[in-house]
Structure 1
Amino acid sequence: MESFKAPLVPACDIRDALAAIYRRISWRILPFLLSCYVLAYLDRVNISFAKLQMQQQLGMSDAVYGLGAGVFFLGYMLFEVPSNLLLARVGARKTISRIMVMWGLTSACMIFVHDTGTFYILRFLLGVFEAGFAPGMIFYLTYWYPESRRARVMAVVLMAGPVAGIVGGPLSTWIMTVCAGLHGLAGWQWLFLLEGSPCVLLGAAALVFLDDTPQQARWLSDEDKAHVTQDIGQSARPGVHSSFGAALKDGRVYLMAFSYFCLICGLYTISFWLPTLLRTAGVKDALLLGRYAALPYLVTVAAVPVFARRSDRLRERCLHSALPAIAGALSLIAAAYMTRSLIGSIISMTVATTCIYAAYVVFWAIPTAYLKGAAAAGGIALINSMGLLGGFISPVLIGWLKTLTGSLQIGLIVMATLLVVGAISILLNRLPRVVPRAS
């Protein structure tokens, strides 16, 4: 890799120059990555809206739906680490393009679901082909931003979930309502077709639009590249491990994975069950349900980036992740006892969504500060893949408990308990404090 050396200039001028460079980088790559991740998240969780029609037409129980929603994460987990290690070799541009094209085609093929078996198979394959996308993006951003800017940058990209929630609810219910019966396809079939196909086009665009590193970016000058390279190098903590094999032996990495598992259990409780919770509270009209489902995510998009900037400013991560997780847990418990109240359900789920996403976004600033180089590529994927087991367990367990008891209450309480346990594990795994510096 070509080496760049920044010229000697006053510190205040360097700070101003860096601020301008990072603004240019952010406007170049963050909107594109956010768009990619919004489509990824939408294709992952639009099953929660399709369920409203599929369950009746295909005769699926809540337990079958929960297993189908969760089996996605088994495929994801099995192939995530190899995918991210491959990204470190071939680059993010080719990896993101390959992943998006394959998952877009698979999501569109969900129109062929006709029984439980095809439902499980296609959900599993969707996870296989999307494997490595989220940790790949997180690893990719470490090439472009120093540690002091990570939480706010992660907040932009990881807001894909709430943005997908804002767009996905109204869009998905509108598609299912307007397109029902068109050309002999059910509304839920049009949902998968119309929300899966754009991923293929965006995947092809990634080959042209993205650059693997700042050094390869033709839209940055040599001086800009030098400043970015120097800033990232100076702001980084010393790498703890030099290889993925060393990271595999580190207990801290597995504790981070467990913390993430607990956060993901809470996150996908909302993603997969919010529409069902709103229907239980009395919302029967599909279009109205989509609008109500967007409300928690609107608040999340407004609040979480502000919280992430505070974490960056104070250079504190553990408390900024653990405390919102606890607040989210308390809100889930409140939601468990308000399942028949529409206003109570919306308020409690809005607070839960905002707090859990705040914990989730800030959490990723912890492993990206701890792991570097090859250890980061594999270690981040390992944490994400082990943590995403929560994406399997959460819908399966809640679906089973709802089928058994006829209520979401016990499932919500169990997920709230896991969030509290996750918050405690984050606090037990605090990294040494880094003294704030201007950035």
Structure 2
Amino acid sequence: MEAQFNDNPPSTTSTLEERNRTFRRIVFRLIPFLTLVWFLAWIDRVNIGFAKLTMMDDLQWTEVVYGAGAGIFFIGYFFFEVPSNLLLQKIGAPKTIMRIAMGWGIVSILMAFVREEWQFYVLRFLLGAFEAGLQPGVILFLTFWLPAHRRGKAMAIFMSASAMSLMIGSPLAGFVMDTFNGSLDLAGWQWLFIIEGIPSVVVGICAVFILTNKPINAKWLSSTEKEHVVYELAVENTTLGNRDHNFWASLRKPSTWILILTFFCIVAGNATLTFYGPSLVKAVGITDIAALGWVMSGIYACGWIGMVGNGWLSDRNRESRWHTAFAAGLGASGLVLAAIFLTQGSAIGVIFSLALSAAGTMGAIPVFWNLPARYMSGTALVAGLAVINSIANLAGYFAPQVLGGIKASTGDYTGGLYLIAVVEFLAVGLVLFFIKKQQRVIPEAPKDEELAGLR
């Protein structure tokens, strides 16, 4: 359920417009920096897709080695996601984000110096271990500041950084690899890891100076503005009613596993686009790295439009279930079309299909994250977000393995694309048949003790 608010709620003299101004201020303060952090995280996570184009030949590695290394990132994610989110609850978001960003930035720089397969695997694992907790941590952090009906657009902007990183990072990767190749006796792919790792370390240091953990600690908010946040969060708690507060109790419920499986299916499609998009475009004849970078930029621009657009529509309609299902269906359809056009050798067809898949798959992600709060809150939500993200992101391990293995055995990517498309279509059925519908109600005013609990 998502709360709807009267212009003059009985427990406060504030108007809707006054509260809107408060929340706009909060969004403008927090979201740009969080978006930058997520942008850099994705740059350092997926630049391996471009480095692969020359790195594999330089090191004499196979598709199987690449698939295993690309995917093992998510094993690190799996083991450290929940501890990271629990630590965030204790030490706060600013220190957590500092630790995460500095850690993965240093590991990314070290990736430039791998020579052995085991080094590749270890560093990719560590990259996942450091980044673990960032996305669910930010989602949890935003629940301290924004009620659900205001989080959709904010999370869409934040999460669209993944598409922006691909959109901007693709031509940037091509430029860096072409321009710096051979400088100081380092290959272009080595410079890619070094140049893109340094900003993450810098941003990590800045986190403790820019972010504030909770509204009550925000010196940049007036007491009236803090009350606006307290009021709307209390109304949301009243509207949602009884939810699981105990993590282990929520983990025993089928709804939690439905959410995990749904996001697993969406992540499988997303991992296919991010780790194999450049290879798919190269397979239809676009071999110049700089040109390929611009093509991928256009494809991921469609992903960015899908994320922001679907988040905006979800907030406008106060609905998340259908917006998640439709977007996932669009993403899966794009993968089917990509497989068909790949067999025909149609570059235009493959590019169009990947753009369609990016718009749908990436568009489903921010809206999906409105769903878990319908089933859990408190400690259950803290750990639940991390568990959903960590287990579901194992799809990022299996999808590259599947595509790499099928490519190695059959000589093309079509079989793998069809298989991943089926997996993503499964997400549509899970959402429509098992996720409960939203109820639109005007809630009662929150009780005084509920307001006090949020102050």
- TM-score by length of structure 1 reads 0.95
Q: Find 1:362's aligned residue among 341, 344, 367.
A: 367
Instruction: Give the partner amino acid of 2:48.
Output: I
Whether 2:75 is the aligned partner of 1:97: answer: no
Whether 2:315 is the aligned partner of 1:312: answer: yes
* Structure 1 pair 338–433 and aligned structure 2 pair: CA distance change class (3 A): same
| Aligned positions of 1:59-208 closer than 5 A | 59-208=60-209
Q: What secondary structure sits across from 1:337 in the alignment?
A: helix
> How many positions carry a matched residue from both structures?
432
Give 1:13 deviation, angstroms: 5.0
Contact kept, 8 Å, 1:315 with 1:434, in 2: the verdict is no
Instruction: Give the partner amino acid of 2:289.
Output: A
Listed one character per residue, the Cα deviations across residues 77-127 of structure 1 (whole Å, up to 9, x for unaligned) are 011111111111111111111111111101111011112111111101111
* Structure 1 pair 219–117 and aligned structure 2 pair: CA distance change class (3 A): same
* Structure 1 pair 252–266 and aligned structure 2 pair: CA distance change class (3 A): same
Contact kept, 8 Å, 1:142 with 1:368, in 2: the verdict is no
Give 1:255 deviation, angstroms: 1.0
Give 1:386 deviation, angstroms: 0.7
Q: Find 2:335's aligned residue among 325, 332, 337.
A: 332
Listed one character per residue, the Cα deviations across residues 354-390 of structure 1 (whole Å, up to 9, x for unaligned) are 0111111211110134321111110000000010010
Residue number in structure 2 paired with 1:415: 420
Q: Distance in 1 between matches of 2:133 and 2:310?
A: 27
Residue number in structure 1 paired with 2:28: 27
Whether 2:426 is the aligned partner of 1:425: answer: no
Contact kept, 8 Å, 2:306 with 2:360, in 1: the verdict is no
Q: Distance in 1 between matches of 2:23 and 2:290?
A: 40
Residue number in structure 2 paired with 1:342: 347
Give 1:36 deviation, angstroms: 0.1
Q: Distance in 1 between matches of 2:152 and 2:258?
A: 20
Listed one character per residue, the Cα deviations across residues 137-172 of structure 1 (whole Å, up to 9, x for unaligned) are 111111111011222111011101110111110011
Q: Distance in 2 between matches of 1:205 and 1:349?
A: 36
Q: What secondary structure sits across from 1:365 in the alignment?
A: coil
Contact kept, 8 Å, 2:167 with 2:298, in 1: the verdict is yes
* Structure 1 pair 31–133 and aligned structure 2 pair: CA distance change class (3 A): same
Whether 2:274 is the aligned partner of 1:282: answer: no
Give 1:249 deviation, angstroms: 1.6
Q: Distance in 1 between matches of 2:271 and 2:145?
A: 29
Contact kept, 8 Å, 2:304 with 2:362, in 1: the verdict is no
Whether 2:277 is the aligned partner of 1:265: answer: no
Q: Distance in 1 between matches of 2:414 and 2:292?
A: 20
* Structure 1 pair 239–218 and aligned structure 2 pair: CA distance change class (3 A): farther
| Aligned positions of 1:296-307 closer than 5 A | 296-307=299-310
Contact kept, 8 Å, 1:315 with 1:436, in 2: the verdict is no
Listed one character per residue, the Cα deviations across residues 164-209 of structure 1 (whole Å, up to 9, x for unaligned) are 1111100111111101111111110110011011111100100111
Instruction: Give the partner amino acid of 1:392.
Output: Y
Residue number in structure 2 paired with 1:3: none
Contact kept, 8 Å, 1:180 with 1:187, in 2: the verdict is yes
Q: Distance in 2 between matches of 1:67 and 1:271?
A: 15
Contact kept, 8 Å, 1:314 with 1:436, in 2: the verdict is no
Listed one character per residue, the Cα deviations across residues 271-306 of structure 1 (whole Å, up to 9, x for unaligned) are 001100110111111100000001122223234322
Contact kept, 8 Å, 1:256 with 1:429, in 2: the verdict is no
Q: Distance in 1 between matches of 2:273 and 2:434?
A: 26
Q: Distance in 2 between matches of 1:288 and 1:437?
A: 53
Q: What secondary structure sits across from 1:149 in the alignment?
A: helix
Which deviates more from structure 2 when the two are superposed, residues 218-227 or residues 145-154?
145-154
Q: Distance in 2 between matches of 1:102 and 1:260?
A: 26
**Unaligned stretches of 5+ in structure 1?**
1-6
- TM-score by length of structure 2 reads 0.92
Q: Distance in 1 between matches of 2:193 and 2:233?
A: 41
Residue number in structure 1 paired with 2:385: 380
Give 1:241 deviation, angstroms: 1.2
Task: Give structure 1 regions of 4+ aligned residues with deviation exceeding 6 angstroms.
Answer: 7-12
Contact kept, 8 Å, 2:306 with 2:362, in 1: the verdict is no
Instruction: Give the partner amino acid of 1:19.
Output: N
| Aligned positions of 1:29-48 closer than 5 A | 29-48=30-49
Contact kept, 8 Å, 1:155 with 1:361, in 2: the verdict is yes
Instruction: Give the partner amino acid of 2:409.
Output: L
Q: What secondary structure sits across from 2:371 in the alignment?
A: helix
Residue number in structure 1 paired with 2:324: 321
Contact kept, 8 Å, 1:139 with 1:368, in 2: the verdict is no
Residue number in structure 2 paired with 1:212: 213
Q: Distance in 2 between matches of 1:141 and 1:8?
A: 23
Percent identical among aligned pairs is: 37
